[in-house]
């Protein structure tokens, strides 16, 4: 009898929280959800934990499927959807917005039954993270595993080289100066990734550092031949060829963290998502700082958003939205932030007791948050992967010495213009 009343109370409570349509969504028993992993650490265990907590609260079983890195997850999700057996929702790169819309596989959140007061909810995210979510007056995704580009530096090395470990470089000139003093035989001053899938992210930050944005908001035009874009490219090239503080050739994203932890590189341009990994595994003092800019720190946001797919039934869409709201709740977002280093996507999460305590013990976590105001949106256009490839190929050619910065940018622009032609006018 007591059990019955408890359950009745729970149902009544859920009914109060949820809009009527959500009650219908409870006929949904299972959801499938794809997620990528782009950082170190026990991410699957954390995700499993959230899905179990969601099931305890709602009775809906969410099957999380780890699907590789961002690119692989996108490929698997789209292939599965075209094959008719796709996931109901997925974490995919925030910057894929325009490409995914072009494939016509997304559900705008406004069209989900029982979405409730969507505006009030989406306004609660950091605006910089919502930059890649809205288009054509609709909301197509909400932030989940979001980060900003930051750099990690080895404080012990800084001290040994006679640099102040508490005053890491804030400008390009300071970066070059520090890099020259840190680079020794077989040890590099700084490394940033130029590999497929990552070069465009690094370069987006550099362009912002020179005060430039690479594309328009509609995702139909790119501006690679702008003098400031060329300046950014020239700066990157000079690190390898003129100052020789970074290796020539392309650098894989995956080697950055091991290089830093093995102390073969003094500074790595990485993501806040790696913070917990570094904190757990570094056997030396390390610091976190915002990426240096031409004049002052500037960076780029990155990471994945939650998208809900059209192939899900209305009830499944509503349940997926419920999951999105569940993981965005302040306590959950704070927990995600502490366990991975990804940024809690809503200001209110940073006000929670647990996250306040965490940041007072580990102030490095705040560095990333402080970068949000000086961060630009990620390069995002239609035919996104094609534009990425054009840019990354040219960056790699430039960094192996095959092309000048000018040439690399001109070639990228020519290819991007060709690819984007059908989307203009």
Partner 1 sequence: MKPARTTLHAWLMLTPAMLLLVGFTHYPAIATLWHSLFTTPRATRPARFIGAENYLALADDPVFWQALWNNLVYAGATIPLSIGLALAMAMWVNGRLAGRTALRIAYFTPTVLPMIAVANLWLFFYTPDYGLLDQLTATLFGWGPTNWIGQQETALGAMIAVAVWKEAGFFMIFYLAALQAVPPNLYEAAAIEGASRLRVFLRVTLPLLGPTTLFIAVNAVINGFRLVDHIIVMTRGGPDNATALLLTHIYELGFRFWDTAAASALTMILLAMLALAAAAQFAFAARRVHYR
Q: Which residues bind partner 1 (CB under 8 A)?
A: 71, 75, 78-79, 101-104, 185-186, 194-197, 247-252, 255, 259, 262, 264, 383, 385-386, 389, 392-394, 396-397, 399-400, 402, 422
The structure tokens listed for 380 are 């995002």
The structure tokens listed for 410 are 């001109």
Phi-psi region of 104 (alpha: psi -120 to 50; beta: other; left: phi over 0): left
Task: Pick between residue 96 and residue 378 the one whose CB is nearest to partner 1.
Answer: 96
Task: Pick between residue 194 and residue 274 the one whose CB is nearest to partner 1.
Answer: 194
Dist CA 363 CA 76 (whole Å): 38
Distances (CA, A) of 86 to 33, 83, 101, 121, 272: 9, 7, 16, 27, 30
Task: Pick between residue 61 and residue 310 the one whose CB is nearest to partner 1.
Answer: 310
CB of 368 to partner 1, least distance (A): 28
CB of 270 to partner 1, least distance (A): 18
Dist CA 189 CA 177 (whole Å): 10
3-state secondary structure at position 140 = coil
The structure tokens listed for 74 are 């996108």
CB of 255 to partner 1, least distance (A): 7
CB of 193 to partner 1, least distance (A): 11
Task: Pick between residue 37 and residue 355 the one whose CB is nearest to partner 1.
Answer: 37
The label of the residue with tokens 């980060």 reads: 147
H/E stretch holding 417 reads helix 405-420
The label of the residue with tokens 């910057």 reads: 95
Task: Pick between residue 15 and residue 249 the one whose CB is nearest to partner 1.
Answer: 249
CB of 422 to partner 1, least distance (A): 8
CB of 37 to partner 1, least distance (A): 16
Identify the bridge partners of residue 188 per DSSP, sorted by sequence position: 265
Task: Pick between residue 48 and residue 72 the one whose CB is nearest to partner 1.
Answer: 72
Contact 383, 219 (CB under 8 A): no
Task: Pick between residue 316 and residue 415 the one whose CB is nearest to partner 1.
Answer: 415
Dist CA 333 CA 326 (whole Å): 9
CB of 309 to partner 1, least distance (A): 14
Contact 387, 222 (CB under 8 A): yes
CB of 339 to partner 1, least distance (A): 26
If we measure between CA atoms, which residue out of 64, 61, 71 comes closest to residue 35? Answer: 64
Burial 291-309 (b: 16+ CB within 10 A, else e): bbbbeebbbbbbbbbbbbb
3-state secondary structure at position 373 = helix
If we measure between CA atoms, which residue out of 354, 363, 357, 419 comes closest to residue 388? Answer: 419
CB of 177 to partner 1, least distance (A): 23
Task: Pick between residue 71 and residue 165 the one whose CB is nearest to partner 1.
Answer: 71
Task: Pick between residue 305 and residue 392 the one whose CB is nearest to partner 1.
Answer: 392
């Amino acid at each position: 009898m007591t059990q019955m009343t408890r359950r009745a109370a729970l149902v009544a409570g859920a009914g109060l929280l949820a809009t009527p349509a959500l009650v219908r969504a409870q006929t949904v028993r299972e959801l499938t959800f794809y997620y990528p992993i782009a950082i170190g650490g026990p991410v699957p265990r954390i995700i499993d934990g959230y899905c179990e907590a969601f099931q305890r609260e709602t009775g809906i079983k969410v099957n999380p499927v780890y699907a590789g890195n961002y690119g692989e997850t996108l490929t698997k999700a789209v292939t599965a959807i075209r094959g008719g057996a796709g996931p109901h929702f997925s974490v995919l790169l925030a910057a894929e917005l325009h490409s995914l819309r072009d494939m016509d596989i997304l559900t705008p959140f406004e069209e989900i039954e029982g979405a409730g007061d969507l505006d009030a909810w989406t306004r609660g995210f950091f605006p910089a993270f919502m930059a890649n979510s809205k288009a054509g007056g609709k909301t197509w995704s909400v932030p989940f595993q979001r980060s900003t580009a930051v750099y990690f530096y080895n404080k012990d090395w800084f001290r040994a080289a006679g640099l102040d470990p508490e005053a890491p470089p804030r400008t390009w000139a300071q970066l070059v100066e520090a890099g020259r003093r840190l680079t020794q035989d077989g040890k590099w001053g700084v490394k940033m990734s130029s590999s497929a899938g990552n070069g465009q992210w690094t370069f987006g930050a550099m362009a912002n550092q020179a005060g430039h944005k690479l594309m328009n908001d509609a995702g139909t035009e790119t501006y690679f031949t702008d003098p400031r874009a060329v300046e950014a490219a020239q700066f990157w090239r000079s690190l390898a060829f003129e100052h020789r503080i970074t290796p020539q050739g392309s650098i894989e994203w995956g080697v950055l963290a091991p290089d830093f932890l093995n102390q073969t590189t003094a500074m790595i341009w990485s993501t806040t998502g790696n913070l917990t990994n570094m904190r757990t595994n570094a056997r030396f003092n390390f610091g976190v700082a915002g990426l240096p800019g031409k004049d002052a720190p500037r960076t780029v946001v990155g990471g994945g958003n939650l998208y809900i797919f059209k192939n899900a039934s209305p009830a499944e869409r509503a349940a997926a939205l419920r999951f999105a709201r569940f993981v965005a709740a302040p306590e959950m977002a704070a927990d995600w932030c502490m366990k991975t280093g990804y940024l809690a996507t809503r200001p209110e999460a940073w006000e929670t007791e647990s996250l306040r305590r965490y940041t007072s013990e580990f102030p490095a976590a705040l560095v990333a948050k402080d970068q949000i105001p000086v961060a630009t949106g990620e390069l995002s256009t239609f035919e996104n992967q094609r534009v990425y490839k054009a840019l990354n190929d040219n960056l790699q050619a430039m960094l192996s010495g095959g092309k000048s910065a000018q040439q690399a940018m001109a070639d990228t622009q020519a290819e991007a213009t060709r690819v984007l032609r059908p989307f203009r006018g």
